[in-house]
Every structure is written in structure tokens, then in C-alpha cells.
């Protein structure tokens, strides 16, 4: 399951459950439509607290779509997640897409105010 919600700072994305390649492709396609309307610089807060690690086919869709977010004006992103495996997977995907330097990973279990910290990173560049 995924959601794309506009916010004053850009977008809030939510990924949850076990997302396969078909659903990930749907997110990629919807993202392209949303990104066409974006101008200037903006950021993304991503809620992955309920996401299961991606299988290979779904994971292959993530880097080119992340790169499109960056190419359309994304300057920073913050990812709220739980679990070392998921963090490692998404750090690797962010490196492949070229957004790793602009993305911060927040462990939602040890950081209950992860959303507020993420928004501060997105809007003001304050390290979480």
C-alpha cells in the first residue's frame, strides 16, 4: 500500500505492508504525474513504519523513481522506519539513485518525535 499526500513542504509518502512490483510500479507512475506539477525546491517525509522489505523486482523500481523526485526539485527527504534490514535496503537503494546524501533515516522506535525532526530536516536542514 502506498499514499502520496501534498504538504506545505512538498509531499508525505506512506508505504506499508508487502509491496510487490505491480504496486511499486503504480507508485512510480502516480509519482510521475504528481512530479510534473512541481516547481522549485521541496522535500519529502516518508512513513515506512509498516513496510516489509521489498523483493528484488519491487526494489528495482525504487531508484529510478527516487532519482526523478530529485530531478524535479526534491532537496531533502526524511524516512521514518523500523528495523535494521529495511534501513539497510533503503540506504542501498538511495545510494543507487543518488539521493543518499539528501536523505535521513529515523528509527521510529527510539525517536517518538521522528515526524517533527524529519520536517525540521526537510524545511530547515536541521539534522535529526
Domain positions in the chain: 2-124
How far apart are alpha carbons 36 and 58 in whole angstroms? 23
Torsion of CA 77, 78, 80, 85, to 10 degrees: 70
Correct CATH for 2-124 of 2.60.120.10, 3.30.750.24, 3.30.450.20, 1.10.3720.10: 3.30.750.24
Percent with pLDDT over 90 in the chain: 85
Mean pLDDT for each consecutive 10-residue tract of the chain (128 residues)? 97 97 97 95 97 93 94 97 85 85 94 97 96
Q: What pLDDT is recorded for position 61?
A: 95
Q: What pLDDT is recorded for position 85?
A: 82
Torsional class of 112: left (φ above 0), alpha (ψ -120 to 50), beta (otherwise): alpha
DSSP string, 28-45: HHHHHHHHTT--S-EEEE
H or E, element range at 81: strand 74-81
Q: What pLDDT is recorded for position 86?
A: 81
How far apart are alpha carbons 33 and 108 in whole angstroms? 30
Per the DSSP assignment, residues forming a β-bridge with 13 are: 4, 46
Q: What pLDDT is recorded for position 87?
A: 83
Q: Which three cell numbers stand for residue 4?
A: 502520496
Amino acid at each position: 500500500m502506498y499514499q502520496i499526500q501534498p504538504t506545505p513542504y512538498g509531499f508525505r509518502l506512506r508505504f506499508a505492508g508487502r509491496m510487490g512490483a505491480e504496486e511499486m510500479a503504480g507508485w512510480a507512475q502516480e509519482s510521475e504525474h504528481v512530479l510534473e506539477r512541481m516547481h522549485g525546491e521541496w522535500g519529502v517525509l516518508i512513513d515506512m513504519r509498516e513496510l516489509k522489505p521489498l523483493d528484488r523486482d519491487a526494489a528495482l523500481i525504487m531508484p529510478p523513481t527516487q532519482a526523478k523526485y530529485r530531478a524535479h526539485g526534491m532537496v531533502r527527504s526524511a524516512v521514518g522506519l523500523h528495523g535494521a534490514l529495511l534501513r539497510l535496503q533503503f540506504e542501498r537503494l538511495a545510494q543507487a539513485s543518488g539521493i543518499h546524501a539528501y536523505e535521513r533515516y529515523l528509527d521510529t522506535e527510539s525517536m517518538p518525535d521522528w515526524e517533527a525532526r524529519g520536517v525540521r530536516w526537510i524545511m530547515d536542514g536541521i539534522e535529526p
